[in-house]
Amino acid sequence: MSLKKLEGTGTPKWRARVKFPVQAGALIITVAGSFMLYWALETGHDLLAAIVFGTVALSFALTIWIS
């Protein structure tokens, strides 16, 4: 039997505590970041566009980690 099962739960308390704030943050970054991405693309700021897209991708990675 795994240690997690012996402990009775697989979710550490700190993770459960931060889940909602992290998910809310990821959602805000995804929405706001996408609009910033549009502005960067339209104005030709390619480096900024790449950074913003990377941040949006990071928010999805955070979602996978915390959910």
Residues making contact with other proteins (CB under 8 A): 20, 23-24, 26-27, 30-31, 34-35, 37-38, 41, 49-50, 53, 56-57, 60-61, 63-64, 67
Task: For residues 36 and 17, give the distance between their C-alpha atoms in angstroms, rounded to a whole number.
Answer: 30
According to DSSP, residue 43 is labeled: T
Q: Which is nearer to other proteins, 12 or 31 (CB)?
A: 31
Q: Which is nearer to other proteins, 6 or 39 (CB)?
A: 39
Q: Which is nearer to other proteins, 12 or 61 (CB)?
A: 61
Task: For residues 56 and 26, give the distance between their C-alpha atoms in angstroms, rounded to a whole number.
Answer: 8
Tokens 């990071």 belong to residue: 58
